[in-house]
């Protein structure tokens, strides 16, 4: 079931179709292209999609943008931890089905929801400038002013993320961790209206986009809790064959974010990781160098491997001639026009090299045991 919101439609118009494309003619005879934008129905998803559409409207004032909201499998299954479901496209499948059927022309996602391998025919056409990718602590109101360190022994912390729980169990051994599901609104309600949790862990980016920064009690730096691959970044998924749409959204690419996320996704893909195993990253770009820290953990955090590598992403070679759009130019699902191909290739190699380093030190064994234990829970 989907809902449509037309942001700019004139009062009197005629809808026309030309193949997969949609146009409208207003009362004065002016014809405008309609771009249909797919999104999840949650409040956060709508806020994120609106922010992307606003940017596109500024660049293309003559285009009509129609938002099509729909529920995904991940939105409907609320009584099971995501890591237990095992489906790689929990929050994307229904949206990609609509993209395949030409019911929408592009889809806005949280990049961390997108698998490192996309279905044939789709690509990520843009990765926007990243919001703060770190995790945040949101305390129950009665614990206002405290932090994780100062919470009482055996205080219960809510998170459905194996990655967060594994790192925080090791860093804060006096705390206990339990699953909590639902969108941001639901999880905050569960925290505030019951006494089940002393605090919950959420992505700082989502809280900021919702305007709920005042609920952030503590930002967890990478020494406490490294973040998920792609966390804090928005991605626009398109049909790989739609050159015009790809060109349209490519101007939204933020080069540093693209390169950081390519390296993170290449690392995760090489480890064959996902939400069912604890894998975490930290990246930064400094002085034309891309730094990638990656780690794998056992479920209780007692066993872990963590390494850092770097590579040059120098802009000495300016952006090459734009790539021909086909499956071959995707890098871990991303087709980033207007971003240096050499830098993108270096980012992929960095992720693969770091993955190989951790595998050589026993990462596969740690992740295999973590996956088996999670399946048995």
Mapping DSSP to helix (H, G, I), strand (E, B) and coil, where does residue 32 land?
strand
| Total Cβ atoms within 10 A of residue 236 | 26
For 367, the token pair is: 């992740």
**What's the distance, Cα to Cα, between the start and end of the chain in Å?**
33
- Residue 21's nearest CA partner among 237, 329, 239 is 239
Q: Is the dihedral of CA 177, 183, 184, 187 positive or negative?
A: negative
The C-alpha atoms of residue 76 and residue 78 are separated, in whole angstroms, by 6
Do the beta carbons of residue 311 and residue 230 sit within 8 Å?
no
Residue 54, C-beta contacts closer than 8 angstroms, at least 6 positions apart: none
Q: Which of 28, 75, 113, 326 is catalytic?
A: 113
The C-alpha atoms of residue 144 and residue 156 are separated, in whole angstroms, by 15
113 is catalytic: yes
Classify the phi-psi angles of 272: left when phi > 0, otherwise alpha if psi is within -120 to 50, otherwise beta. Answer: left
Distances (CA, A) of 4 to 32, 41, 43, 69: 18, 10, 15, 6
Residue 371, C-beta contacts closer than 8 angstroms, at least 6 positions apart: 276, 277
The C-alpha atoms of residue 359 and residue 124 are separated, in whole angstroms, by 28
Question: Which residues are known to be catalytic?
Answer: 113
């Amino acid at each position: 079931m989907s809902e449509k919101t037309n942001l700019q439609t004139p009062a009197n118009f005629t809808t026309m179709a030309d193949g997969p494309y949609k146009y409208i003619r207003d009362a004065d005879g002016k014809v405008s292209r309609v771009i249909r934008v797919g999104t999840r129905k949650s409040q956060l998803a709508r806020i994120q999609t609106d922010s992307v559409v606003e940017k596109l409207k500024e660049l293309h004032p003559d285009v009509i943008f129609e938002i099509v909201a729909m529920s995904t499998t991940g939105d409907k299954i609320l009584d099971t931890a995501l890591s237990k479901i095992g489906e790689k496209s929990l929050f994307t499948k229904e949206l990609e089905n609509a993209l395949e059927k030409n019911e929408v022309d592009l889809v806005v996602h949280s990049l961390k929801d997108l698998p490192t391998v996309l279905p044939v025919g789709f690509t990520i056409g843009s990765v926007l400038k990243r919001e703060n990718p770190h995790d945040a602590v949101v305390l129950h109101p009665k614990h206002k002013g405290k932090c994780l360190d100062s919470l009482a022994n055996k205080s219960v912390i809510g998170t459905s993320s194996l990655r967060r729980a594994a790192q925080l169990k090791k860093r804060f051994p006096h705390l206990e961790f339990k699953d909590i599901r639902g969108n941001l609104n639901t999880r905050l309600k569960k925290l505030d209206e019951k006494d089940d949790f002393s605090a919950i862990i959420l992505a700082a980016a989502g809280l900021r986009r919702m305007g709920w920064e005042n609920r952030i009690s503590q930002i967890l730096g990478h020494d406490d809790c490294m973040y998920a691959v792609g966390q804090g970044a928005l991605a626009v998924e398109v049909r790989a064959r739609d050159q015009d749409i790809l060109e349209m959204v490519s101007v939204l690419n933020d080069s540093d974010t693209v390169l950081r996320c390519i390296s993170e996704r290449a690392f995760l893909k090489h480890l064959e990781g996902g939400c069912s195993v604890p894998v975490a990253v930290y990246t930064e770009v400094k002085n034309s160098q891309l730094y990638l820290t990656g780690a794998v953990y056992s479920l209780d955090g007692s066993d872990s491997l963590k390494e850092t590598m770097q590579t040059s992403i120098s802009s000495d070679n300016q952006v090459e001639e734009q790539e021909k759009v086909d499956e071959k130019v995707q890098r871990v699902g991303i087709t980033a026009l207007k971003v240096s191909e050499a830098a993108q290739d270096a980012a992929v190699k960095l992720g693969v090299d770091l993955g190989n380093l951790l595998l050589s030190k026993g990462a596969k064994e740690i992740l295999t045991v973590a996956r088996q234990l999670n399946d048995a829970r």
